[in-house]
Structure 1
Amino acid sequence: MAIRVVVVGAGYTGLAAAKLVARWTDAAVTLINAEDRFVERVRLHQLAAGQQLRDLPLAGLLAGTGVHLVVDRVTGIDAEEKAVRLENSARAVRYDMLIYALGSAADMDSVPGVAEHAYTVATADEAVRLRERIDDSSVVAVVGGGLTGIEAAAELAEAHPDLKVRLVNGGELGAGLSRRGRDYLRRTFDRLGVEVVEQARVSEVRADGLVLADGGHIGADTVVWATGFTVPGLAGEAGLAVDEEGRLVVDEMLRSVSHPEVTGVGDAAAVRLRSGQELRMACATGLPSAQHAARAIADRLAGRAPRPIRFRYLNQCISLGRRDALVQFVHADDSPREAVLTGRKAALYKEAIVRGTILFERYPAIPASL
C-alpha cells in the first residue's frame, strides 16, 4: 500500500509541496483546501482597488499530477490516530505523513473594534468587500506600515485619486528599508497624496475612524487593517509543538519537533536557521521552503538522510501602484543594503516576480529564486 501524504492548505506553499511530493515519490497525495480556487494573495490589494484577478481553479493547476483534491474545511487534526477531520464529511482523512500548510489570516482580535469595523486584504472575499466599500468612502485609513499596508495604501491612492488615503503606523515608515528606500517611499506617498501618520498606536477602531493610545482620533469612513497576522489554532489543539503565536515548531528539515511525521511549511510554521534567524512570512520564504520540505520527504521515503534547510534572502519587492515600485536589496539575513531599484523598472521587476509565483505553482520543480 502506498504511503499516504496529506497536505492541508493549498496556498503558495501547500499547492507546490503537494505537486512536488507527487512528482518525486510514489506516495498517494491528497490536498485539502477550503476553496476550489487558488488565490493570488500577493495581488489582493489590486483586487481591493478595483482590478480583476485571473481565475485559477485548483483542478486545472493539479491536472496530470496525480494529486487528489478534496474541497472542504479542516476542522481538526487527530495526531494520535493520524487523521484530519473535515467540516462536511463524517469520514476523517488518514495520513502517514502530514504537510501542515494552512497559512495565516489577518489578526482581527488584538484591538477592540477591528472585527466589527475594519476591512482587510487577507482573503479574496475580504478584498472584494473592501472594493465595494471604497465606492462609498471619501477617507480611508490604512493601519500598518509593513509591506501589506504600504502596498494597499499606494494601490488605493493611485486607483482612486479623489479618495483621501491615510497610512497609520505605530513606528517609522519603512523602518526595515535603507535610507534610500525610505526616502523614495516618502516621495512616492507625497506624489500619490497619501498622508502618513507615524508613531501612532491604535487602541480602538470605531465606525468613524481610529482612537489612538494617546487619546487622539483619526477620522475615516473606512479602516483597512493591515497590521499583524494570526495562524489557525489546529496545530496546538492537536497537541503538536507550537510557539507562542501558535505556529508549528519545526526543525531544520521542516519536521515538527514533537511529531516527526508532520512537516510544516508557509506562514503557519516557525522556521529557524542554525544561526537563530527566524524566517519571515512571505512568498520569498514559502516557495523555497516548500521545495525543501518535499525534497526532505522524498529523501526519507527513499532511505536517504534529508539535508537541513539553507536559505538566504535577496530582496524585498514593494508595489507602489501599477507604474511604480521599490525593490530593496537585502543581505542574506534580510537586513537592507543601501541599493534599491525604483520607478518603472522596479514595477516591471515586481510584476515579473508576481507572475513568476504562478509559473512556480504550475511547475514547482523550477528554481525558487523569487
Structure 2
Amino acid sequence: METTKQDESARVLVLGAGYGGLMAALRAADHATVTLVDPSSEFTERVRQHELAAGRATIGHPLAPLLRRKRIRHVPARATALDAHQRIVTTDSGEKLGYDRLVYALGSRTRGTGDGDGRVFTSETAAQLHKRLQDGPGRLVVVGGGATGIETAAELGEVTDWEVELVTAGQVGPSLSPKGRAHVREVLRALGVTLREGAAVTPADLDADAVVWNASLQPNTELATAAGITVGADGRITVDEHLRAVSHPDVYAAGDAAGAWTRDAGALRMACATALPVGTRAGRNAAADLTGDEPRPLRFRYQAQVLSLGRHDGLVQKVRRDDSPTDLVVTGRLAALAKEQVVRTTVRTLRLAAR
C-alpha cells in the first residue's frame, strides 16, 4: 500500500467535524500536521436527523477511530474567536491554536424562529423532538417544503400516531420535476400527511402541539465575518475555484460555510452531496499550498437528488449537471434502497479516507 509522509512543519487547522470538515482534515493529513477543532467526540450523520426524531437509536460515529491512523489531533472544544492576521484561533477552553492554513468548515444551522416557544423543534433538536413525540399523539406541523421538510413529514407520518401536516410557502419540492413532485404529494397523502402549499407562516400562526421548523439553513460564518473574511449575500464565505477565501488566501472553506462553485454546476447548494467533495478538495489544497504542490480547482457536477419518503418509499430525481431536474425519476422501494445506500456510502467514504 502506498503511504504518504506528513510534513510536521506544515500546520493545517480545521474548524468543524461535519461532512466537509472531517473530510478536509482526513485529506490534509496525508501531507500536513492537522488539528481538528470540534466540541463533539462523534461525527453526526446529519442527513439522518429525521430518522433520529422517529426513533433511530443513534446517528453518531466516534471520531477517534477515524482520526487515529492519520494522527490527527482532536481538540474537543468550540472555536470562539479567529484572528486571521495573527493566524490564531481561540477556543472556549482558552486554548490558542496557531495555523499556517485554516479550513473553515463550521457548517450551518436551521434558520431559527419562534425563540422561546417550547413547541418548536429543528433538525438539530431531533432527539428532543423524539422525546416530545413519546408524550402522546397530538397535532404536529412540519414547516418547509424542501428535502428536509419532506423527509421529516414522511418519516413521522409513517411511524407516529400524530396528526402530521406539512406547510410550505411555495410548492413542495421546488427543485423537483413535476413528475417527482407528484410522487411526493402522492406518498404524503398515502401516509396521512396533510399538505398545505403557498402558506407563509410563523410558529405563532400554527395551531399545533409541536412544530418542526425546516424552512431554511443559515451558515455558521459569524467567526469569519468578525475576523474580516469576506462573505457573500447568502452569508457563505466567498471563495475562488480552489476554495480559498478571496479576502484571506491562507483560509480555505468547506461544507455549508463555503460559497463553493464550479463552472459545470454553478453555485453549490448546502448538502452532504456537496460537502464531501468540497471538503476533499479544500483539505488537499490547504496541504498542497504548504508543501509546494499546486492547488487544484474544484471539479463537481450534479447527477441526482435522492429523497427518502418513509422507510418503504423514496425518490431518485435525475438532474442535469447544474442541478436542474429532468423528467427521469425512480420511485418506490427501489428508490428507498438507493437513498439508504447513498447515505451509507457517505460514512464508507469517510472511513476509506481515514485508511
TM-score by length of 2: 0.93
Matches within 5 A, 1:13-52: 13-23=20-30, 25=31, 27-52=32-57
Letter in structure 2 aligned against 1:148: T
Displacement of 1:179 in angstroms is 1.7
Structure 2 match to 1:98 = 102
Matches within 5 A, 1:240-279: 240-274=229-263, 277-279=266-268
Shift in CA distance, 118/105, structure 1 to aligned 2, threshold 3 Å: farther
For the 8 Å contact 1:48–1:121, the answer to whether it is kept is no
Displacement of 1:306 in angstroms is 2.1
Displacement of 1:55 in angstroms is 4.2
Which runs of structure 1 show a deviation greater than 6 angstroms over 4 or more consecutive aligned residues? none
For the 8 Å contact 2:260–2:278, the answer to whether it is kept is no
Shift in CA distance, 2/104, structure 1 to aligned 2, threshold 3 Å: same
Letter in structure 2 aligned against 1:102: L
Question: After superposition, what is the alpha-carbon deviation per residue over 1:307-344, rounded to whole angstroms, capped at 9, x for unaligned?
Answer: 22121001111111111111111000000011111111
Which 5+ residue runs of structure 1 have no aligned equivalent? 212-217
Q: State which of 294, 297, 303 in structure 2 corresponds to 1:308.
A: 297
Structure 1 match to 2:178 = 179
Question: After superposition, what is the alpha-carbon deviation per residue over 1:158-199, rounded to whole angstroms, capped at 9, x for unaligned?
Answer: 111x21100000001122111210111111011001100010
Which 5+ residue runs of structure 2 have no aligned equivalent? 1-7
Shift in CA distance, 17/343, structure 1 to aligned 2, threshold 3 Å: same
For the 8 Å contact 1:16–1:361, the answer to whether it is kept is yes
Structure 1 match to 2:277 = 288
Q: State which of 212, 223, 248 in structure 2 corresponds to 1:224.
A: 212
Structure 1 match to 2:3 = none
TM-score by length of 1: 0.90
Cα distance in 1 for partners of 2:263, 2:88 equals 32
Q: State which of 84, 90, 100 in structure 1 corresponds to 2:89.
A: 84
Question: After superposition, what is the alpha-carbon deviation per residue over 1:208-239, rounded to whole angstroms, capped at 9, x for unaligned?
Answer: xxx1xxxxxx4211010001111221100111
Letter in structure 1 aligned against 2:301: R
SS at match of 1:364: helix
SS at match of 2:35: strand
Matches within 5 A, 1:114-263: 114-123=115-124, 126-136=125-135, 137-160=137-160, 162-202=161-201, 204-206=202-204, 211=205, 218-232=206-220, 233-263=222-252
Structure 1 stretch displaced more, 136-145 or 94-103: 136-145
Structure 2 match to 1:214 = none
SS at match of 1:219: coil
Displacement of 1:62 in angstroms is 1.2
Cα distance in 1 for partners of 2:47, 2:116 equals 22
Q: State which of 69, 76, 97 in structure 2 corresponds to 1:71.
A: 76
Structure 2 match to 1:356 = 345
For the 8 Å contact 1:247–1:269, the answer to whether it is kept is yes
Question: After superposition, what is the alpha-carbon deviation per residue over 1:273-321, rounded to whole angstroms, capped at 9, x for unaligned?
Answer: 3468210001111111111122323433342332221210011111111
- Length, aligned pairs only: 346
Matches within 5 A, 1:317-336: 317-336=306-325
Cα distance in 2 for partners of 1:332, 1:357 equals 20
For the 8 Å contact 1:118–1:225, the answer to whether it is kept is no
SS at match of 2:301: coil
Shift in CA distance, 361/334, structure 1 to aligned 2, threshold 3 Å: same
Cα distance in 2 for partners of 1:118, 1:75 equals 29
Structure 1 stretch displaced more, 173-182 or 10-19: 173-182
For the 8 Å contact 1:106–1:120, the answer to whether it is kept is no
Kindly indicate whether residue 9 of structure 2 is the aligned counterpart of residue 2 of structure 1. Answer: yes
Cα distance in 2 for partners of 1:360, 1:224 equals 30
Question: After superposition, what is the alpha-carbon deviation per residue over 1:25-82, rounded to whole angstroms, capped at 9, x for unaligned?
Answer: 1x21100001111111000100001121254111122121110000001101011110
Letter in structure 1 aligned against 2:217: F
Letter in structure 2 aligned against 1:156: L
Cα distance in 2 for partners of 1:239, 1:120 equals 32
Displacement of 1:117 in angstroms is 3.9
For the 8 Å contact 1:291–1:365, the answer to whether it is kept is no
SS at match of 1:3: strand
For the 8 Å contact 2:301–2:321, the answer to whether it is kept is yes
Cα distance in 1 for partners of 2:281, 2:227 equals 24
SS at match of 2:80: strand
Letter in structure 1 aligned against 2:212: V
Shift in CA distance, 272/263, structure 1 to aligned 2, threshold 3 Å: same
